[in-house]
């Protein structure tokens, strides 16, 4: 599994957790940070 697939899978699990109103942990924050940084650095993002 590539890192992109790993991130996608982990994000899906996190969204499920978030929708059931469970607190997100610092560990989750690292994933959210990575995902948002990836989005913001994507070549097609408006600069």
Partner 1 sequence: MSGNKSTSIGIIQLTRIGDVIQTYQAAKQLKIENPNVELTLVARKEFAQGLHFLLDEVFSHMVFIEIKDFIKSPSSTLMEARNSVKDLVTDLNKLDFDVLVNLSFSKSSEYLASMIEARHKLGLTRNSQNQISIEDSWSQYVFSTVMNSESIPFNLVDLFKNILGAKSFSPEYKEKTREDKIVIHPFASSKKKHWGVNKWVDLCYKVLKENPEQELYVVGGKADQTQAEKLVNSPALGEFSKRIHNMTGKSSIEETFRLVSDAKLLVCHDSMVSHLAAVSQTPTIVLSMGTVRPSETTPYHENVLNLAPKRKCFPCKVQEKCELLPCHKDISHQLVSRLVKGILNQENFDSTFFKEQVSPFYLQNVAIFAPHFSEMGMDLIDITESAQTVQDVFKTFYKIVWSFYFKEQELNYAIPELGKESLATLSEYAKGCSYIYELYGFGMKYSNAVIEEAKKEQPNIKVIQDNINKMGEIDQLCTVTKKTFPLLTPIVDFFFVNKANAKGANILEITQSNLLSFYDGQNMIKVVFDLIDNITRDAVGREPIKEV
Where does this chain bind partner 1 (CB under 8 A)? 2-3, 6-7, 10, 18, 21, 23-24, 26-34, 36-41, 46-47
Minimum Å distance from CB 21 to partner 1? 7
Least spacing, CB of residue 6 vs partner 1, in Å? 4
Which region holds residue 37: left if phi is over 0, alpha if psi is between -120 and 50, else beta? alpha
Q: How far apart are CA 3 and CA 20, in angstroms?
A: 26
CB of 44 to partner 1, least distance (A): 13
Q: Encoding tokens for residue 40?
A: 């913001």
């Amino acid at each position: 599994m590539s890192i992109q697939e790993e991130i996608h899978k982990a994000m899906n699990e996190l969204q499920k957790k978030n929708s059931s109103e469970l607190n997100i942990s610092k560990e989750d924050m690292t994933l959210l940070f990575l995902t948002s940084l990836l989005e913001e650095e994507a070549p097609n993002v408006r600069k």
